[in-house]
Amino acid sequence: MATVYFYEYQLAGIKIGKLLLPVNCDGTKIAALEPNSSFAYSVSPGKHVLTSSDKRNAIELNAKPGDVYYVRLDLYQPGLLLVKGTLVLVLPEQGTAEIKKTHPLPAKYIASVH
């Protein structure tokens, strides 16, 4: 198995309230990330497609056994009242530092898909 840490944190000055954006693995919703939160997800070795609300920016992850990956949810506003999320695969050093600024995602927002 490999571990993928998903996280989202708001930069200073950005306020979006309690917006929950989906995190999908291979077309299945695995969680809804809230601001400044993170969670770990185990994936089997091999290829996986990771998306959020903007499915055009998918991450194609070729997971290797025992490896750890960090995926940040970035927010952007394509319309006046619309906020979307896109996933970004970040370097382990960056992910480790940024994830320390988050809190664990409450279990109620994580799907029971395993």
Ranges of beta strands (E only) in 1-114 are: 2-8, 21-25, 28-33, 37-43, 46-51, 59-63, 68-79, 82-90, 103-104
Torsional sign, CA 19, 108, 31, 103:
positive
Does residue 96 surpass a pLDDT of 90?
Answer: yes
pLDDT digits (tens, 9 = 90+) for 32-56: 998 899 999 999 999 999 999 887 8
Q: What is the pTM of this model?
A: 0.88
pLDDT tens-digit series, residues 49-92: 999 988 788 999 999 999 999 999 988 765 666 677 889 999 99
Whole-number pLDDT of residue 53: 87
In angstroms, the Cα distances linking 10 to 20, 34, 89, 95 are 13, 10, 17, 14
Separation of alpha carbons 72 and 35, rounded Å: 11
